[in-house]
Chain A
């Protein structure tokens, strides 16, 4: 990627701030219009993290919190590529993930769901995409989780993703869902996304080709970050 400004974000494709089906958004959504700000250096630059921040088990949630055994649940591999809108790989992207355990229980002080914690599962992982934008985690498939929105709302099984590209304007947090989960189309948080095609892009298909026989199934999840224009250098297009 060259270092120009980023393509405008399509805010009809992303969820709007105010989406009353998801109740908490009602008082946490700005009511005034966003002020358009053509990228300056402050938005075109961003932190880039080296592999020195990673520990050897950071991408292996089956082992990175294990105390006296392995966590209970469906062993899976989640892998894919980080690309930009021009389908170019985004290497060196820090990806952080978090999730509930197999029973839908998060390891967090404020979490009170009655399903038990797994003593061998923490629920956080991170990695940095390779030269071709590829990444990979090992984990346990998370369980669905009830939440106080409607009287009987349940989140589909999901893994939260936080991604750093190369510029702060690319900063993105999203959620990955699993192919075939009937809860996806009943979920108010999923339904904040207006376009069905945008939702489908967050659903990871089962990937038998990368499944490890007698060990772990694989799901493939590609992530697309904003693309960027050619560098403007002293008001001339560089390299064009």
Chain B
């Protein structure tokens, strides 16, 4: 026999269920007066540095129906590529930008929306630059453990080409499921990005 490693097991995940909004976006589901504002509802202040962009999309199930009860969280670096996190050691991030957003899918259309800034470049472990990206975490009824994915930007073709993660994905045809094309809507640079949970166009999800 050998000594025990004596480690605890992580608490097992369970689905967020259909009423995740009660806990995470209570104002959005009609529970008003408990919290002044839903967490992660607003990512920007007038002082936030960087180029304003909008990220919009929907989450589809395996039969092509948009989820109307998903919750999407977004985590990203600031315009200079710094994370507003105690774990960030390279410098101080923009104090007017937390980098965290949370969007409940619209109850009628399922659309999630983030008004944010375009993130700067963050290094990979070996120091090579990663292409600008945001990290998404998706939970919903029917999703037993939150799904991690990334969104890269369609107007960063050269950086995406050299990205250490994108460039090593074996199935090249799937890389585009992580890249959002740039358009302009209502005068705002907008990246439309639908997530497909299952099937032909299935989005790449990461085991991080």
Chain A nearest CB: distance from B43 CB in Å?
Answer: 11
Query: Which residues A179-205 have CB closer than 8 A to chain B?
Result: 189-190, 192-193, 195, 197-199, 201-202
Q: Which of B10, B14, B100 contacts A13 (CB 8 A)?
A: B10
The proximity string for B residues 174-189 relative to A, scoring 1 for CB distances below 8 Å and 0 otherwise, is 1000000000000000
CB pair B206–A37 under 8 Å, yes or no, is yes
Q: Does B72 contact A (CB under 8 A)?
A: no
Stretch of B24-32, B47-55, B110-118 lying at the A interface:
B24-32
Q: Are A15 and B73 in contact (CB under 8 A)?
A: no
Asked if A48 contacts B143 (CB within 8 A), the reply is no
User: Can you identify 24 A-B contacts, CB atoms within 8 angstroms?
Assistant: A3-B87, A11-B207, A14-B13, A15-B144, A25-B144, A27-B65, A27-B197, A28-B141, A31-B62, A31-B199, A32-B204, A35-B206, A36-B206, A42-B150, A46-B85, A46-B87, A98-B19, A98-B24, A126-B23, A160-B16, A189-B15, A192-B15, A201-B9, A202-B14
Q: Which residue of the partner chain, among B22, B62, B123, B150, contacts A28 with CB atoms under 8 Å?
A: B62
Chain A nearest CB, measured from B49 CB (Å): 18
Which A residues fall within an 8 A CB radius of B?
3, 6, 8-11, 13-17, 19, 22, 24-32, 34-49, 53, 55, 57-58, 64-65, 83-87, 96-99, 106-111, 122-126, 160, 162, 166-169, 171-175, 189-190, 192-193, 195, 197-199, 201-202, 223-227, 232-233
For B154-192 the 0/1 string (1 means CB < 8 A from A) is 000000000001000100001000000000000000000
A168 to B86, CA, bound (A): 12
Residues of the A chain whose Cβ atoms lie less than 8 Å from the Cβ of B83: 41-42, 45
CA separation between A233 and B89, bound complex, in Å? 10
Restricting to B45-79, which residues have a CB under 8 Å from any CB of A?
61-63, 65, 67, 69, 73, 75-77
- CB atoms of A160 and B26 under 8 A apart: no
CA distance A6 to B143 in the complex (A): 22
Return chain B residues, CB-CB under 8 Å to A172: 10-11, 13, 146
Contact partner of B208 among A43, A98, A123, A190, CB < 8 A? Answer: A43
Residues of chain B within 8 A (CB-CB) of A64 are 34
B12 partner residues in chain A, CB cutoff 8 A: 13-15, 174, 193, 195, 198-199, 201-202
B200 to chain A, nearest CB (A): 10
Q: Closest 9 A-B residue pairs measured CB to CB?
A: A98-B23, A24-B142, A28-B142, A45-B85, A47-B100, A15-B144, A27-B62, A45-B83, A34-B207
CA distance A172 to B21 in the complex (A): 15
Tell me the total A-B contact number using a CB cutoff of 8 A: 273
Check B202–A30 contact: CB distance below 8 A: yes
Within the complex, the shortest CB–CB distance from A88 to chain B, in Å, comes to: 10
Q: A31-B199, A160-B17 are in contact. Are A40 and B130 (CB under 8 A)?
A: yes
Contact check: which of B35, B75, B197 meets A30 at CB < 8 Å?
B197
Alpha-carbon gap, A3 to B107, bound state (A): 38
Specify which chain A residues have a CB less than 8 angstroms from the CB of B130 in the assembled complex: 40, 42
The verdict on A17 contacting B143 (CB below 8 Å), with A31-B199, A42-B133, A109-B29 known, is yes
Residues 118-132 (chain B) with a chain A CB within 8 angstroms: 122-125, 130
Give CA–CA (A34, B150) in the complex, Å.
13
Closest to A221 in B: B11
Closest to A98 in B: B23
A128 to nearest B CB, angstroms? 12
Min distance, Cβ B21 to any Cβ of chain A, angstroms: 7
CA distance A31 to B65 in the complex (A): 17
Provide the residues of chain A in CB contact with B144, threshold 8 Å: 14-17, 19, 22, 25, 29, 192
- Shortest CB–CB separation between residue B5 and chain A, in angstroms? 10
